[in-house]
Amino acid sequence: MEDISAILSECSYSTSRSSGPGGQNVNKTETKVELRLNILVSEVLSDQQKTILLHKLGSKLVDGSTILITSQETRSQLKNKNIANNKLIELIGQALVPDIPRIPTRPTKKSKEKRIETKSNQV
């Protein structure tokens, strides 16, 4: 990922009232932050990166192509926004790491013997 600030500039933010404990302060301040990034509309990500993100983050996408991240951990809207930004950067960074291909190996003689031994013990 080349430019993190460019990706963050493409995000849209919305705030709402946070849930949980906090007394009267919870009822009057909007500290919960929702971050949305539409992968298909992004101009920073390449087509290859978009397809990788759509494939790897399929279960975490809203409307099929939008990443939705919420944060309501602190009582500060700015801190929650920073937490949401960090979550997005970490999520995209982990998704874009290439998978290491598995090298097939043959089972060892000892593991074959152990498997056969456990099978004979079951009967």
pLDDT tens for each residue of 61-88? 999 899 999 999 988 999 999 999 999 9
pLDDT digits (tens, 9 = 90+) for 8-56: 999 999 999 888 777 777 788 889 999 999 999 999 999 999 999 999 9
pLDDT band at 92 (very low <50, low <70, confident <90, very high): very high
Amino acid in position 90:
E
Decide yes or no: CATH 3.30.160.20 for domain 4-122.
yes
Domain residue limits, the chain: 4-122
Check residue 16 and give left, alpha or beta (phi > 0: left; psi -120 to 50: alpha): beta
